[in-house]
């Protein structure tokens, strides 16, 4: 499976709550009405636990079964549908900061999680950095198709049994992690 992980930045001055509200109530329904998605998930960043990533609002995941499926979205984005979406993005995103990473992914589990953790890895062994933390379940390594600075973005589901103190400990010990609330 191909996953495009889109790193979406909040417009300056927009709170986490205002960003999420606009994205979920306006932009996501608009995008879903205009584009043909095989999988579309929003992972809203919790800035309380992600001090290094204060402007990041979401890691949105777009799933495709093939490169042809990805090409279809590209064609739709080149049409007037794309123009409508780009105009809407200006209302709540800091568009010049946005970027996406194409990955090859084999999801180990297909469970749905309300909370997720993402870990950008520069070296192969870093893809397993969080594997031994209780309460985390690895979903995928999300191997970057054209690696540059990072080779993959490990994706973990957070079980309901994990405590707030355990999450705080992970945040202190692993400063590269990104904590997110997931909606698909």
pLDDT digits (tens, 9 = 90+) for 95-130: 999 999 999 988 777 788 999 999 999 999 999 999
Residue 135 region by backbone torsions, left for phi larger than 0, else alpha for psi between -120 and 50, else beta: left
pLDDT reading at 49 higher than 80: no
- The confidence score (pLDDT) of residue 161 equals 83
- The confidence score (pLDDT) of residue 171 equals 87
Residue 160 CA to residue 55 CA, distance in Å, equals: 27
Q: What is the mean pLDDT of residues 68-89?
A: 93
- The confidence score (pLDDT) of residue 99 equals 95
Phi, psi of 170 (to 5 degrees): -60, -45
- The confidence score (pLDDT) of residue 140 equals 95
- The confidence score (pLDDT) of residue 148 equals 82
Domains of the chain: 2-183 (3.30.70.100)
Q: What pTM was computed for the model?
A: 0.92
CA 61, distance to chain mean position in Å, is: 5
pLDDT reading at 53 higher than 90: no
- The confidence score (pLDDT) of residue 58 equals 98
Phi, psi of 169 (to 5 degrees): -65, -45
pLDDT reading at 89 higher than 80: yes
């Amino acid at each position: 499976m191909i996953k495009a992980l889109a790193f979406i930045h909040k417009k300056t001055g927009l709170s986490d709550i205002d960003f999420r509200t606009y994205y979920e109530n306006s932009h996501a329904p608009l995008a879903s009405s205009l584009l043909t998605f095989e999988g579309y998930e929003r992972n809203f960043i919790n800035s309380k636990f992600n001090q290094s990533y204060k402007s990041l609002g979401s890691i949105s995941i777009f799933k495709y079964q093939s490169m042809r499926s990805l090409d279809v979205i590209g064609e739709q984005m080149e049409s007037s549908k794309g123009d409508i979406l780009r105009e809407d993005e200006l209302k709540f995103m800091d568009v010049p900061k946005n970027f996406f990473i194409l990955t090859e992914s084999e999801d180990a589990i297909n469970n749905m999680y309300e909370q997720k953790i993402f870990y950008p890895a520069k070296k192969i062994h870093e893809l397993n950095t969080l594997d031994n933390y209780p309460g985390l379940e690895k979903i995928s390594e999300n191997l970057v198709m054209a690696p540059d600075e990072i080779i993959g973005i490990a994706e973990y589901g957070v079980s309901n049994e994990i405590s707030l103190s355990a999450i705080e400990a992970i945040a202190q010990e692993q400063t590269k992690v990104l904590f997110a609330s997931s909606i698909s």
